[in-house]
Amino acid sequence: MRNPVTGQSLVSYFDAGQALVERAVSAGTRAQIEWMGLTASARGRHMNAAIRALEGQEESLAQLESVVAGKPISDCRGEVGKVREMFEYYAGWCDKQHGEVIPVPTSYLNYVRHVSYGVVGQITPWNAPMFTCAWQLAPAIAAGNAAVLKPSELTPFTSVVIAGLLESGGLPKGLINIINGVGPTTGAALTDHDGISKLVFVGSPESGRMIAQAGARRLVPSVLELGGKSANIIFNDARLDDAVAGAQAAIFAAAGQNCVAGSRLLIQRDIFDEVVERLGRAAAQIPVGLPEDDATRMGPLQNARQFERVMAMINTAIESGARLMTGGHRPQGLPEGTGGYYLAPTILADVTPDIAIACEEVFGPVLVAMPFDDEAEAIRLANATRFGLAGAVWTQDVARAHRVAGKLRAGTIWINSYKAINVMSPFGGFGDSGFGRSSGLDGLKEYTLPQSVWVETGGQASVAMGYGNGVG
């Protein structure tokens, strides 16, 4: 592992590999039986008690996340609070996962119950390791499962600490297992293990396809939350102060390393020059610096491979005719010793829809600005991508806002805002952005299977030889 700020070696650790994955799955299998031996209400109480083990550790967790991921400390402090929020929310669902009775037209009593998968495998990304750890663990155990989670090999440590704290707070030993290692060895051992009944992955479409294929070989279902190329649409009647501030935060927060980053800015033509000029001025004022500095609003990219990829995409776009409005280089005035993966906030204009940077995920602080003439063109440009994770509409016309939102092919749409996310609301994408949902009740349901039970209540048992006999 390398320090994103300096590019220097930070720490080394052993790859877990097949043997440790085997132990983790075995531990999860035992713990899940113990966990389901408790009443639903007791599981909820245990979850609430466990999350209190984080009290007093919030700053340490935030500092650890900031160092390893290169994220501003102010962002990491906020994400620690989200960890607690997620566990508290799903703890409340433990004893509210009701079944239902189906009024079949016979003497049978037919009811449906929701049963857990058993042990689930989860793989989380390097851009938000602490957030996505809780994002997946909380609903999984609330639904009665055990979990074996592999964080990215680039950012493994906050997941380990969170799991340890939760276990110290009273969760059964082995209910949550963290395995650290690289994808081809540890990741493959997890996805191929016969004891894993469902796979959940957050990351790139390329890796997501491999996860889905691994599950398909064993006929195991998967949930994939993949990348995005989200369109942020500004109409000429929008409140421009709000829209410009929203567009800036949408792409430059977390140095653009966010699956919902508003990386495509579609601006109505008669306000295009004004919006781009204002954004350029605002981008130049973003405090880029050391992650541990409270004033920093944007840190480095997390790793060298990602930095090189982003720079290559910028250079290719310029060679293809894009106009560099600002950025595209290391920021000026960084402290001495910051030889890591810094990139100044970057804006490209004169981008045509057919070049790669207009339709492929960049995952860096790079905004592509494109003009449109009318509502129909805005919708067409917004949907001209394989991705469908998120999008936004800025307008004061309420009818237009709802009309356009309804025609965008994306899992989350914001109107006159950006990146409002809460654990109560479902999150996921269309197309290459994946399938299945995280968070909300939909996220909880991803971790259970419906089971239909038929009870004969008549005086004489009905034994049918064919489908439909005895069912009126």
- Find where tokens 């639903």 sit: 40
Q: What is each CA distance from 52 to 40, 47, 55, 83, in whole angstroms? A: 19, 9, 5, 11
Strand order in the sheet with 146-150: 176-178, 146-150, 119-123, 198-202, 222-225, 434-435
Q: Radius of gyration (Cα) for the chain, nearest Å?
A: 24
Phi/psi of residue 7, nearest 5 degrees: 80, 0
Helix (H) or strand (E) holding 323: strand 323-326
- Among 208, 197, 232, 171, which Cα is nearest to 413's? 232
Specify whether 76 is catalytic. no
Which residue in the list 259, 361, 375, 446 is annotated as catalytic? Answer: 259
- Find where tokens 């851009």 sit: 127
Q: Buried (b) or exposed (e) across 386-403, using 16+ Cβ within 10 A?
A: ebbbbbbbbbeeeebbee
- Other C-beta atoms within 10 Å of 20: how many? 18
Which residue in the list 65, 79, 153, 225 is annotated as catalytic? Answer: 225
Positive or negative, the Cα torsion across 50, 55, 56, 59? positive
Name the DSSP class of 376.
Answer: H
Helix (H) or strand (E) holding 279: helix 269-284
Contacts of residue 145, defined as CB under 8 A and 6 or more positions apart, other chains included, come to 32, 116, 117, 118, 119, 120, 447
Q: How far apart are the C-alpha atoms of 234 and 153, rounded to whole Å?
A: 38
Q: How far apart are the C-alpha atoms of 281 and 326, rounded to whole Å?
A: 9
- Among 224, 295, 228, which Cα is nearest to 256's? 228
Q: How far apart are the C-alpha atoms of 94 and 285, rounded to whole Å?
A: 46
Identity of residue 84: R
Specify whether 259 is catalytic. yes
**Angle at Cα 306 formed by Cα 250 and Cα 192, nearest 5°?**
100
Q: How far apart are the C-alpha atoms of 25 and 146, rounded to whole Å?
A: 9
Catalytic residue list: 225, 259
